[in-house]
């Protein structure tokens, strides 16, 4: 007598988990089309006892599959307090809500792998997930993508839907602006070593600086936070350079506070550039030069990709949507670029409407906590 084939046999042969096999056979709307095809093929080859049911779960059963969805979508981020990530979350929530989905937000706190979080039992009920700048390895990300529709923001992983910002031209313009301002040496204040964006940004800065005959040194921070940027001043002062290029704006702002606290003048003593163009960067004194990332458009694109993947599991190969980043030069490179609050308010009025006084005070309060002065006159 032949041994009865189980989902564990199928899982071992297909190279996936038993839970993935179960979903592929009973709830295919939550599994990628590639995984479904693989599991079905292995199941039939091994003689699984429900081949007829498996064959019936093809594209013609899409209406039935859709009824098995829960209407829940997860958004997972390393640090939801980060303005870049919180903006992504808000946009994804708005887009998904407009299509009847409820969003579950989870913060991995920079030290919990996304695949462990998404393997929790309660997360198995979601219809899909958006991961913002995940620190998880590629193999684990592919395991997640095998079990549910998945879109990634700010991380390049072959074979998975992703939304990216092309920062090459923006970094080139930033480094050139630094050279024009008299800079020949740059310190890169790094983010998490597990961050794809960190290595990408560092490599671009080194490449562009080398092309212009400039040198780049490296300071490794512990976390991509304002506190880490503040604490980096000690290492910087031991080997000072003409400019500092930070992994993100938050770290750059923390560094500026520490530099000013040590009697340095920006940009006279050191020029500073960040990444992200968070709202706070336009309120520091001097205002922070930065690489503007189209965060809202990226988040919108990610939500749309996920919706398409949830609704059409057979939509084909992985999609990549790329938006262009832009360099914004402000007072942290050239003093003449410094912008007073009144000028900023005027610019904001013409572009997006009146900047209310309580919003200005709130920004002032946030930056004052970091020790950075503001032009409030």
Same domain, 347 and 249: yes
Does a structural domain hold residue 271?
A: yes
Q: pLDDT digit string (tens) for 35-76?
A: 777 787 788 778 776 544 444 444 444 444 444 678 999 999
377 assigned to some structural domain? no
At 221, the pLDDT band (50, 70, 90 cuts) reads: confident
Domain membership flag for residue 374? no
pTM: 0.71
Same domain, 199 and 171: yes
Q: How many residues does the chain have?
A: 377
Question: What DSSP element (H or E) covers 141?
Answer: helix 138-147
Pairing of strands 128-132, 102-107: unpaired
Same domain, 99 and 205: no
Residue 1 lies in a domain: no
Residues 262, 205, single domain; the answer is: yes
Calculate mean pLDDT across residues 223-227.
Answer: 92
Three-state DSSP at 56 gives helix
**232 and 349: one domain?**
yes
What percentage of the chain exceeds 90 in pLDDT? 53
- What are the tens digits of pLDDT across the range 299-339? 999 999 999 999 876 667 889 999 999 999 999 999 766 54
Buried-state track 125-142, b at ≥16 Cβ within 10 A, e below 16: ebbbbbbbbbbbeeebbb
pLDDT of residue 190: 96
User: What CATH number has the domain bearing residue 211?
Assistant: 3.40.50.2300
Claim to verify: residue 160 and residue 115 sit in the same structural domain: yes
Give 168-221 as a DSSP string: HHHHHHHHHHHHHTT--EEEEEE--TT-HHHHHHHHHHHHHHHHTT-EEEEEE-
CA torsion through residues 131, 274, 371, 355, sign: negative
In this structure, of 76-80, 87-91, 206-210, the range with the lowest mean pLDDT score is: 76-80
Number of domains in the chain: 3
Is 348 inside a domain boundary? yes
Q: Is pLDDT of 348 > 60?
A: no
pLDDT band at 17 (very low <50, low <70, confident <90, very high): confident
Among 3, 29, 73, CA closest to 310: 29
* 270 and 289 belong to one structural domain: yes
pLDDT at position 113: 58
Same domain, 364 and 245: yes
* Statement to judge: residues 152 and 288 lie in one domain: no
Q: Round to whole Å and give the CA distance between 374 and 377.
A: 9
Does one domain contain both 258 and 153? no
Query: Where in the sequence is the domain holding 78, given as residue range(s)?
Result: 72-164+296-323
Residue bearing tokens 């000028």: 343
Give me the mean pLDDT over the 162-186 stretch.
98
């Amino acid at each position: 007598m032949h041994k009865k084939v189980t989902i564990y046999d199928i899982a071992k042969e297909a190279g996936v988990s038993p839970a993935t096999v179960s979903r592929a056979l009973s709830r295919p709307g939550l599994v990628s089309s590639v995984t479904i095809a693989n599991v079905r093929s292995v199941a039939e080859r091994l003689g699984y006892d429900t081949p007829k049911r498996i064959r019936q779960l093809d594209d013609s059963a899409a209406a039935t599959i859709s009824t098995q969805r829960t209407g829940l979508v997860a958004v997972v981020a390393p640090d939801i307090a980060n303005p870049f990530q919180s903006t992504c979350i808000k946009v994804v929530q708005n887009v998904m809500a407009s299509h009847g989905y409820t969003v579950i937000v989870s913060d991995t706190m920079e030290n919990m792998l996304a695949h462990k979080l998404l393997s929790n039992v309660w997360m198995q009920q979601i219809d899909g997930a958006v991961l913002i700048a995940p620190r998880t390895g590629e193999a684990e990300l592919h395991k997640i993508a095998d079990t549910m529709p998945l879109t990634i923001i700010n991380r390049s992983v072959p074979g998975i839907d992703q939304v990216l910002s092309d920062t090459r031209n923006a970094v080139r313009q930033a480094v050139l602006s630094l050279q024009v301002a008299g800079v020949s040496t740059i310190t890169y204040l790094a983010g998490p070593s597990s961050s794809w964006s960190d290595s990408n940004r560092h490599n671009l800065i080194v490449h562009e600086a080398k092309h212009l005959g400039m040198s780049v040194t490296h300071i490794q921070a512990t976390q991509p936070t304002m506190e880490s940027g503040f604490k980096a001043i000690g290492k910087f002062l031991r080997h000072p350079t003409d400019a500092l290029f930070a992994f993100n704006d938050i770290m750059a702002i923390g560094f500026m506070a520490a530099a000013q606290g040590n009697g340095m003048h920006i940009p006279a003593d050191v020029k500073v550039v960040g990444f992200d163009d968070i709202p706070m960067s336009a309120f520091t004194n001097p205002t922070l030069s930065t690489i503007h990332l189209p965060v809202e458009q990226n988040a919108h694109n990610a939500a749309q990709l996920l919706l398409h993947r949830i609704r059409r599991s057979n939509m084909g190969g992985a999609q990549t949507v790329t938006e262009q980043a832009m360099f914004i030069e402000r007072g942290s490179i050239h003093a003449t670029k410094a912008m007073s609050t009144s000028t900023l308010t005027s610019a904001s009025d013409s572009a997006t409407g009146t900047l209310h006084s309580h919003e200005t005070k709130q920004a002032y309060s946030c930056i004052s906590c970091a020790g950075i002065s503001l032009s409030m006159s």
